């Protein structure tokens, strides 16, 4: 089912009960780009890989979110399935709301376009979102705006520069007061002029007129209207405050759904889902922490049960039967023996079908991920004695795969473990080499040739990791090659220790610098943000 801002609120209400009864949830995302920084190296640590992902990928946006909900019917022994394809775009609610800047990668945009992605629908009807912190700031500004409406603001002097325009506007308001026109629109005035108009209306026409700021196609305009009775105005103020709070809730948008998913405690299934989770946390909950260990803790606290189907595919039990873990190829594989897919009943108007391929549409990919997960789980059951024909999401057979996220680029660290230590393979046979810029692969290969063949993982044009294929030659390498002025050779562990010492020093320096800075108190002081609050304010006179 396609979901945009025009039907999101109805779908959100619908999903309350559906999420509550779900057996497991599948997710997928589409992005404006993948990486703007250096690629992860095959001998990076998981923490280094995460740091590159955090700095190189989070300026892109998740612009389509797929959610597929699978619910198992124990009586019928089959699943029903509902899938949703959400268009996501951070359109600002008003001038006080965040106005997001983001990056695009031409290859990603071109690829999405080739798959029929509707960018017009995204920009016109994409569902907005706010992080918790952004929502709190917006609510604080709204409360301040309402306080100003109630208490008023200080009287500002009108300079000789602004006075002619203010007098011309007040002259028009005078004519409006004696006319039968219902309202007067005042256009083409900047934020400071609007502030002065609020002030003058209150002073010159007390208890007669009210002024509101409104947005139209040409920017912000002022609307002057006559005051109703005291009871009418009090009721309008109540309705206005409720409307303003509702607008903020609508601006929170897809973040509300993400919070519901987190609160559900259901198993969250994805396929190669590390990047999806990073974007979900970053866009809808708050900035990714700098610390890798804080990141693991945060993800696990939000989503305590996560399963990446790629982890299952790469496990020992499946290697012989799964030639490729590419999602489309995987679906073909698990649709045949020895795999079995429990019957999945589609819900009319809410489902996809494997007969109608829509690859790289987030909702469809989430659905396919769910189908593959069912088949992979059931295969685990077929290996048991006695056989378990249907393996549900709470089965202990799935425990070895829970809360592990695939790292595709690292050569010997297959996954991030969210609830424990990551795999820690020996890299004693790996060296860090710094060399002249003119060196090529042949120069490095020749240098190490007495010790057998090597794998070179380039870090820059003057450094690389060197992996010995003959591990028994490690000590000989250090004896023969360590002492020279042409290049610098370090054991992997020594190089990592030097990086850690450098990073620790940098963190201490930044902490010391920040402690010397006294934060300024936030108040209405005439700054740009405060001007936004004041010029949005409804003034009464």
Q: Are 240 and 266 in contact (CB under 8 A)?
A: no
Instruction: Determine the Cα–Cα distance for residues 100 and 92; give it in Å rounded to an integer.
Output: 8
Q: How many residues does the chain have?
A: 541
Q: What does the pLDDT profile of the chain (541 residues) look like in tens digits? A: 999 999 999 999 999 999 999 999 999 999 999 998 888 889 999 999 999 999 999 999 999 999 999 999 999 999 999 999 999 999 887 667 788 889 999 999 999 999 999 999 999 999 999 999 998 888 888 777 777 666 666 788 999 999 999 999 999 999 999 898 889 998 888 888 888 988 888 889 988 888 888 877 667 888 998 888 888 777 877 877 888 788 888 889 999 999 999 999 999 999 999 999 999 999 999 999 999 999 999 999 999 999 999 999 999 999 899 999 999 999 999 999 999 999 999 898 888 887 777 888 999 999 999 999 999 999 999 999 999 999 999 999 999 999 999 998 898 999 999 999 999 999 999 999 999 999 999 999 999 999 999 999 999 999 999 999 999 999 999 999 988 889 999 999 999 999 988 776 555 565 565 555 444 333 333 333 343 333 333 333 3
**Can you give the pLDDT at residue 507?**
58
Burial 113-152 (b: 16+ CB within 10 A, else e): eeeebeeeebeebbbbbbbeebbebbeebbebbbebbeee
Count CB neighbours of 93 within 10 A: 18
- Asked if 270 and 369 count as a contact pair (C-beta separation under 8 A), the reply is yes
Would you identify the CATH topology of the domain 430-500? Alpha-Beta Plaits (3.30.70)
d(CA 466, CA 444): 9
DSSP state of 88: B
Q: Residue 464's beta-bridge partner residues?
A: 433, 458
Fold: same for 149-231 and 430-500: no
Tell me how far apart the alpha carbons of residues 258 and 34 are, in angstroms, rounded to a whole number: 22
* pLDDT computed for residue 219 by the predictor: 73
Picking from 229, 201, 205, 203, the residue whose alpha carbon sits closest to that of residue 213 is: 201
The strand pair at 62-73 and 78-87 is best described as: antiparallel
The CATH T-level fold of domain 2-129+253-417 is Nucleotidyltransferase; domain 5 (3.30.420)
Distance CA 81, CA 394 (A): 18
Reported CATH class of domain 149-231: alpha beta
**Domain parsing of the chain, residue ranges:** 2-129+253-417, 149-231, 430-500
3-class secondary-structure state, position 300: helix
How far apart CA 531 and CA 192 sit, in angstroms, is 8
What is residue 521's predicted lDDT score, i.e. its pLDDT?
A: 37
- Distance, CA of 53 to CA of 278 (rounded, Å): 9
- At 151 the pLDDT is 67
So what's the pLDDT on residue 504?
65
- Alpha-carbon torsion angle 470, 471, 476, 478, nearest 10: 120
SS3 at position 275: helix
Pick from 45, 125, 11, 78: nearest CA to 493: 45
Q: Which of 29, 5, 7 has the alpha carbon at shortest distance from 349?
A: 7
DSSP string, 117-160: --HHHHHHH-B-B--HHHHHHHHHHHHHHHHHHHH--PPPPPPT
What secondary structure letter does DSSP report for 205? S
pLDDT at 190: 86
Q: Determine the longest span between alpha carbons in the chain, in angstroms.
A: 100
Strand partners, 382: none
């Amino acid at each position: 089912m396609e979901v945009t801002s025009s039907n999101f609120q109805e779908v959100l209400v619908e999903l309350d009960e559906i999420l509550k009864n779900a057996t497991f949830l599948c997710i997928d995302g589409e992005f404006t780009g993948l990486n703007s920084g250096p690629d992860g190296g095959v001998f990076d640590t998981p923490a280094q890989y995460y740091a590159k992902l955090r700095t190189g990928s989070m300026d892109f946006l998740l612009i389509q979110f797929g959610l597929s909900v699978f619910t198992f019917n124990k009586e019928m022994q089959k699943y029903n399935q509902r899938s949703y394809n959400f268009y996501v775009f951070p359109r600002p609610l008003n001038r006080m709301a965040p106005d997001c800047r983001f990056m695009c990668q031409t290859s990603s945009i071109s690829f999405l376009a080739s798959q029929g992605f509707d960018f017009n629908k995204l920009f016109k009807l994409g569902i907005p979102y706010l992080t918790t912190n952004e929502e709190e700031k917006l609510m604080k500004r709204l409360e301040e705006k309402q306080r100003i409406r109630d208490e008023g603001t200080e009287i500002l002097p009108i300079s000789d520069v602004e006075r002619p325009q203010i007098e011309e506007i007040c002259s028009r308001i005078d004519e409006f007061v004696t006319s039968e026109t219902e309202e007067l629109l005042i256009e083409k005035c900047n934020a400071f002029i609007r502030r002065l108009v609020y002030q003058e209306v209150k002073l010159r026409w007390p208890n007669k007129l009210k002024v509101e700021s409104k947005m139209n196609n040409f920017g912000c305009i002022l609307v002057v209207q006559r005051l109703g009775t005291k009871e009418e105005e009090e009721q309008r103020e109540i309705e206005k405050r409720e409307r303003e709070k509702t607008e903020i809730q609508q601006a929170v948008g897809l973040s509300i759904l993400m919070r519901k998913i987190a609160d559900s405690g259901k198993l969250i299934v994805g396929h190669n889902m590390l990047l999806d989770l990073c974007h979900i946390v970053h866009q809808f909950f708050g900035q990714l922490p700098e610390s890798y260990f804080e990141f693991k803790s945060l993800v696990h606290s939000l989503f305590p049960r996560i399963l990446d189907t790629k982890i299952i595919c790469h496990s020992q039990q499946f290697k012989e039967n799964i030639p490729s873990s590419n999602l489309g190829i995987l679906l073909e594989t698990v649709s045949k023996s020895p795999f079995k897919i429990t019957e999945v009943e589609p819900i009319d108007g809410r489902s996809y079908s494997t007969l109608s391929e829509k690859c790289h549409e987030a909702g469809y990919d989430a659905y396919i991920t769910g189908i593959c997960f069912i088949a992979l789980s059931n295969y685990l059951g077929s290996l048991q004695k006695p056989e378990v024909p249907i393996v549900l999401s709470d089965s202990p057979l799935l425990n070895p795969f829970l809360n592990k996220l695939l790292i595709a680029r690292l050569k010997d660290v297959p996954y991030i473990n969210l609830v424990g230590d990551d795999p820690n393979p020996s890299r004693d046979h790996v060296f860090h080499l710094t060399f002249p810029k003119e060196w090529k692969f042949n120069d490095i290969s020749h240098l190490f040739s007495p010790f057998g063949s090597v794998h070179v993982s380039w870090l820059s044009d003057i450094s690389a990791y060197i992996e010995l294929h003959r591990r028994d030659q490690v000590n000989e390498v250090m004896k023969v090659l360590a002492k020279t002025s042409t290049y610098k050779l370090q054991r992997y562990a020594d190089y990592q220790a030097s990086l850690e010492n450098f990073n620790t020093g940098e963190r201490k320096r930044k902490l010391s610098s920040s402690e010397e800075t006294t934060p300024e108190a936030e108040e209405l002081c005439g700054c740009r943000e405060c001007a936004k609050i004041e010029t949005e304010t409804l003034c009464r006179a």
